[in-house]
Structure 1
Amino acid sequence: MAVENYIHDLLYRYECVILPGFGAFITQQHSAQIHSATNQFYPPKKTVSFNRQLVNNDGLLANYIMEAEKTGYENAIFKINSFVQELNTVLKENKTVSFGPVGSLRLTEDDKLQFEPSSNNDYLTEAFGLSSVASSEITRETYKKQAIALEEKAPVAFTPEKRASNWLKYAAVGLLAIGLSGAAGLNFYSNQVNEHNIAEQQKAASQLENQIQQATFVIDNPLPAVTLKVSKQTGKYHIVAGAFRMQENAEKKVQQLKAEGHKAREIGANRFGLHQVVYSSYEDRLEALRALREVKTANPGAWLLVQEL
């Protein structure tokens, strides 16, 4: 392979590649740019320049030739020197020479060396495959200015009759808003009640998990049945004593609580299919909370259910 091709390969990896006895090729990275006049976006790139002053051998090119051609250092140096001699001869005869994929070199009239990099190569590997992109100009500000100008030229005038009709419209809208706010308030209250029930159920679930599993036992010595006349329980605030998988266990729990003096009863199965037993029900929330605090001393798993039955 020709020496210029080795230099071409090294320029992808290094910022400076010296051709001993001739000069150095130096790369420089440029950030992405946009042309304000044409709206053209250009990706980042790395360009190549030539420095005639750097001629001392740093071993980079020679070592690369040794590795590529599996040869010794002396042979690599000999190949470089032969290439430089041939390069100088061609420049003196033709005044210009192609330096392969890197670019071209030429001697000026005052025997100064000029380098013209190839426009087809971009030595920035991170930008490989990227090309420039054109974008059309965004004109949203122009449309905004046009709309403002039209509004200024065409002001809206209201007659007294129109003002009156507009007030009626605003009043109707206000009444509608009040009605909607009332409906929204009811929905909000309903949502608050549901959230309370869910939160209380989750809080009690962790405490009652073991009790629910143990609730499937059969009481060896059930208490004798006692018939009592009690007033019908009313209210939407219920103090839940427990939830049972088996109906008979729920009934026994009710009898046990009634024997202890509570107005216990079943209120049906919950969404998990468990039969719920409550100590009592209340119309007043504060009264229910006071009763709940008393019950929790004996049953920490008790909780307050808010539900219309």
Structure 2
Amino acid sequence: MQLTTYISDLLYRYECVIIPGFGAFLTRYKSAQIDETSNTFNPPSKIVSFNKQLQANDGLFANYVASVEKCSYETALQRIRNFTAQISNELADGKNVVFKNIGEFSLNAEKSLQFEPIQQQNYSTTAFGLSSFVSPKISREAYKEEVAALEEKAPIHFTPTRREAKPYLKYAAIAVIALSAIGFGSMKMYEGQVQKYNYAEREKANSLVENQIQEATFVIENPLPVLSLQVPKHTGIYHLVAGAYRMEENASKKVEQLREKGYSPLKMDANRYGLHQVLYASFDDKVEAQRKLHEIQKTENADAWLLVQEIK
């Protein structure tokens, strides 16, 4: 099943990948851990889980399929519907369905959908190339005993004759310290005088500039008229998408059609798949956005979907 490969690709980039009409794969970050019983170091990872309640199409999976297979968005949606129908039939027949590199689906005795993720697969890009490894336990007490044994075999003695072998070095060191202290004190005095001089000159310059600014006069003979523009604002991260178009002129036509119907549409720049998405409206509240989406799907556009993204 080629679509399972597309799902695996998206799980590296996103924390939620929804399969319309089937469910959503979710990823959760897990920090690096140490298994003290086996001395195994495990790298950070992303754990995959499945939620059957999230089935509403957010456009992410369909757009990715359309861009990879170079087909229209509607064709990609139909391929996804066929894919989910095939999975449901196999599960109803009592078969286990395996998603490569993701996990395995099955039905239990109560006919409830069960998902078992593949533990060996790591979808965290920050841990790319890292794998688990076993390190032997470090026994510090053994090293302490070895060091103590070495000290007993080779003790170090300091004799008074060695300390007093060259007494003139002590006086030479005292002289060097005294000369260093005198030089340091002179340098600090010189630096203080330079700082006072620089501060005084800077104050004079600032005073001169302020006087010139206060005396300056600016006259504008022909001021430009004030221009007021009313531009519809799209705020929030929940956006209702009317459609995605590869040709920008088709997206512009859709904007004009929605404007004639009384909407304040917005044409977004081309995304990473080369599609121009046209928005009905944007909302800060998810519940309000879903309510409006259901209303639009029932009245005029059954293929409208919800996009969760920050617009810069």
> TM-score normalised to the size of structure 1?
0.51
**Structure 1 partner of 2:205:** none
In structure 2, the gaps of 5 or more residues are 149-156, 185-312
Give the C-alpha shift of residue 119 in structure 1: 3.3
User: How much has 1:144 moved relative to structure 2?
Assistant: 3.9
CA RMSD of aligned residues (A): 3.6
Deviation at 1:120, TM superposition (A): 3.7
Q: Is the 8 A contact 1:95 1:108 kept in 2?
A: no
1:197-246, CA deviations, whole angstroms, 9 ceiling, x for partnerless residues?
Answer: x99xxxxxxxxxxxxxxxxxxxxxxxxxxxxxxxxxxxxxxxxxxxxxxx
Change in Cα spacing, 1:126 to 1:141, as seen in structure 2 (3 Å) is: same
In 1: Cα distance, 2:144 partner to 2:69 partner: 67
Q: Determine if contact 1:23/1:52 at 8 Å carries over to the other structure.
A: yes
Q: State the SS of the aligned residue for 1:110.
A: coil
Q: May I ask how many residue pairs the two structures share in their alignment?
A: 183
In the superposition, relative to structure 1, how do residues 147 and 9 fare at CA in structure 2: closer, same or farther (>3 Å)? closer
- Alpha-carbon distance between aligned partners in 2 of 1:186 and 1:80, rounded to the nearest angstrom: 90
1:89 match: 89
**For residue 47 of structure 2, what is the amino acid of its counterpart?**
T
- Tell me which residue corresponds to 1:23: 23
- Give the whole-Å Cα distance in 2 for the aligned partners of 1:195 and 1:58: 74
Find the aligned partners of 2:87 and 2:117 in 1 and give their Cα distance.
17
Q: Which has the larger radius of gyration?
A: 1
- CA-CA distance at 1:192 after TM superposition: 6.8
Contact 1:45–1:122, Cα closer than 8 Å, also in 2: yes
Local SS of the residue matching 2:57: coil
Tell me how far apart the structure 2 counterparts of residues 192 and 8 of structure 1 sit (CA, whole Å): 69
Give the superposition deviation at 1:25.
0.6
Question: 1:241-297: CA deviations, max 9, x gaps?
Answer: xxxxxxxxxxxxxxxxxxxxxxxxxxxxxxxxxxxxxxxxxxxxxxxxxxxxxxxxx
- Following superposition of structure 1 onto structure 2, how do residues 168-247 of structure 1 map, counting pairs within 5 Å? 173-180=159-166, 182-188=167-173
**Distance in 2 separating the partners of 1:177 and 1:146:** 30
Q: Could you say what secondary structure the match of 2:169 adopts?
A: helix
Deviations 1:103-156 (A, max 9, x none): 2111111101111222342111111111112222221235547989xxxxxxxx
What SS class does the counterpart of residue 116 from structure 2 fall into?
strand
The alpha-carbon distance between structure 1 residues 185 and 60, as it changes in their structure 2 partners (threshold 3 A), is same
Query: Does residue 54 of structure 2 align to residue 69 of structure 1?
Result: no
CA pair 189-78 structure 1, distance change in 2 beyond 3 A? closer
* Counterpart-to-counterpart distance in 1, 2:72 and 2:143: 72
Residue 117 of structure 1 is matched in structure 2 by 117
Paired letter, 2:110: D
Q: How far is 1:190 from its partner?
A: 7.3
Q: Which runs of 5+ in 1 are unaligned?
A: 149-168, 200-309
Q: 1:57 to 1:183 in 2, by over 3 A?
A: same
**Partner residue of 1:278?**
none
In 2, the alpha carbon distance for the partners of 1:95 and 1:193 equals: 90
Shift of 1:59: 1.0
Q: Output the CA distance in 2 between the equivalents of 1:98 and 1:177.
A: 79
- Structure 1 pair 121/176, CA: closer, same or farther in 2 (3 Å)? closer
Q: Which of 1 and 2 has higher RCO (CA within 8 Å, sep 6+)?
A: 2
TM-aligned CA distance change 1:92 to 1:177, over 3 Å: same
- Matching residue's letter, 1:112: S
Query: Residues 54, 192 of structure 1: CA spacing in aligned structure 2 closer, same or farther, 3 A cutoff?
Result: closer
Contact 1:32 1:43 in 2 (8 A): yes
